[in-house]
Structure 1
Amino acid sequence: MNKKDVLKLIYTKLFSALGPSHWWPGESPFEIAVGAILTQNTNWNNVEKAIHNLKQANLLNEQKLFSLPEEKLAFYIKPAGFFRLKTKRLKNFLHFLKKEANLKITNLKIYPLKELREKLLSVSGIGPETADSILLYALDKPIFVVDVYTKRMFSRHGLVPEETSYQEIQDLFMDNLDPNVQLFNEYHALIVRACKKWCLKNKPRCEECPLNNI
C-alpha cells in the first residue's frame, strides 16, 4: 500500500471511530488566532480561561487588543501561563495585523498561501505550528498543521522517522493528499483526539486503537 492510500485509510478509520471534531474552537477568525498563540506550552483549558477573561471584558477584537496596554493584556491572559512572553507575542502579531491588514485579520486572505506563511513566520514568537494553525483554522488556507501528536502517531506507524523535521512531516501530508481545507482541518483534529484517547505518550492503548492493524 502506498503512502497516499495509508493516509486515506488512517483518516477513514479515525473518522469512523471518533466522528467529526468541529475544530478549531472559536467564534471568530481573530479568536482562533489568539487561541493559537496562547496555546503554546500550555493546555487548552488554560487558554479557554484566558479567552473567557478577554470576552468578559469585551476586548476580544483586533482594535481593542491593539490599543490595550501590555500590563492590562498580561493580566487578562494570565491563566494561559508564560503570560508576559505571550503578551509580547500577541502584541507582535497585532502590530503585524496593523501593518499588513489594517487590523482586520480576514484581510490577510488576499495573500497567496506561501507568501502569507512567510509573513507570519517573520513575526517574532510565531513558529510553524502556530502559523499553520492560523492559516488553516482562522484563514481557511489549505495547509496541514503538524504537532507532537502527529509526529508520535506517524512515527509509531513507520510513516516518518522518529527524528524528523516539521517540514518533512508536513510534506508527507501535502504531497499525498489533495489541498483541501476541510480535510486538513478534520485530519489534524482526529490525530489529536486519537493520541489523547489511545496513542498516549506513555503506555499507549494500541489494542484499543482503530489503527492497531495498520
Structure 2
Amino acid sequence: MTPPIYDVYNTLFSHYGKQHWWPAESRFEMIVGAILTQNTAWTNVEKALSNLRKNQALNFQSLENAPREQLMEWIRPAGFFNQKADYLQELISNLRNKFDGSLDKLFNLEGAALRTELLSWKGIGKETADCIILYAARQPAFVVDAYTKRICRRHSWIDDKAKYDDVAKLFTDNLPEDVQLFNEYHALIVRICKDYCTARKPNCKDCPLKKFL
C-alpha cells in the first residue's frame, strides 16, 4: 500500500500554513546554521549565530580571517564547539581552494555532483548536505531528520531498519520534484513533531494527522 505522502502534506499545510524555513539572512548563514545545529537544539544555534552576527562574522571573509580560539568562543553555545570549529574551517578551506570562495561556483554543481562534493567535506553528512542543497542551493533534495523518521515509523511507513536514503526515497517517489514543496514539507514535519508527535507522550488524539493512523 502506497503511503499517503501527498495527502499528509496537504493536511499539514492546511493546518499550519507556510513555515518560512530556513530562518537565515543569507545562504552562507544558512550553511553555518546547518553545521551548528548538529546534535543540539535550534535555540542554542540561535545564540551562536547571534554571537557571529554581532561580530560581523557571518560571511566568508570574516570566518576565513577569524582566529580559531575566537571562532570557538563565538560558537560555544551550540555545543561541540571545538569539533564544529573544525567543520566551519573545513567549509572555508574547501570554498577557497576549490571554488574561489564563491557559493555561486559551488552551486553550479547540480544534483548528485553537488551532494557528492558536500559529503566529501569533514563534518557534513547526508542530512546536512541535503539541507544545504535544498535551502541554500535551492535544488530539490528531501531532508530526512529524526522528526521525519519518527513520523514515518509511527505511521508504519518504514521499519526500524530503514536507512536515510530509504526514507528520502519514500518522499521523493511520492511527490513532485519541487524545491518549495520539499522545503515546506520538511518544516511542517518538524512543527507537527514538536506540537503533537513528541518523542515521549505523543498527543495522537488531537493530532491533525490522526486520520492517517
Name the TM tier (shorter chain). Answer: over 0.9
Q: 1:176 to 1:100 in 2, by over 3 A?
A: farther
Alpha-carbon offset, residue 160 of structure 1: 1.1
Checking the alignment, whether the CA contact within 8 Å between 2:6 and 2:174 is kept in structure 1 is no
Superimposed CA distance per residue, residues 151-174 of structure 1 (whole angstroms, 9 cap, x where no aligned partner): 000111111112310010011112
Q: Which residue of 2 aligns with 1:71?
A: 69
Residue 90 of structure 1 deviates from its aligned partner by 0.6
Q: CA deviation at 1:69?
A: 1.6
Contact 1:146–1:170 (CA<8 Å) still a contact in 2?
Answer: yes
Q: Does 1:14 align with 2:12?
A: yes
CA distance in 2, matches of 1:45, 1:71: 23
Q: Which amino acid aligns with 2:181?
A: L
Distance in 2 (CA, whole Å) between partners of 1:32 and 1:192 is: 17
Q: Secondary structure at the match of 1:79?
A: helix
The number of aligned residues is: 212
Structure 2 residue runs of 5 or longer lacking an equivalent are none
Counterpart residue type for residue 31 of structure 1: E
Contact 1:36 1:134 in 2 (8 A): yes
Q: Which residue of 1 aligns with 2:55?
A: 57
Deviation at 1:30, TM superposition (A): 0.3
- Is 2:94 the counterpart of 1:96? yes
Unaligned runs of 5+ in 1: none
AA paired with 1:192?
A: V
- Deviation of 1:15 after TM superposition, in Å, equals 0.8
What is the correspondence of 1:185-200 to structure 2 with a 5 Å cutoff?
185-200=183-198
Once the two structures are superposed, the pairs formed by residues 158-197 of structure 1 within 5 Å of their partners are: 158-197=156-195
- Once structures 1 and 2 are overlaid, which stretch shifts more, 98-107 or 157-166? 98-107
Deviation at 1:95, TM superposition (A): 1.0
Counterpart CA distance in 1 for 2:44 and 2:166 is 30
Equivalent residue number for residue 2 of structure 2? 2
Shift in Å, 1:113: 1.2
Shift of 1:99: 2.3
- Equivalent-residue separation in structure 2 for 1:112 and 1:25 (angstroms): 23
Q: Name the counterpart of 2:85.
A: 87
User: Residue 115 of structure 2 contacts residue 130 of structure 2 at CA under 8 Å; is this kept in 1?
Assistant: yes
2:104 corresponds in structure 1 to 106
Q: Residues 151 and 162 of structure 1 are in contact (CA less than 8 Å); yes or no, is this contact kept in structure 2?
A: no
Runs of 4+ in 1 over 6 A off after TM superposition: none
- 2:2 corresponds to which letter in structure 1? N
For the aligned residue pairs, the C-alpha RMSD in angstroms reads 1.0
The range that moved more, 162-171 or 99-108, is: 99-108
- The answer for the alignment partner of 1:28 in structure 2 is 26
What is the alpha-carbon distance in structure 1 between the residues aligned to residue 71 and residue 166 of structure 2?
36
Distance 2:204 2:94 in 1: 44
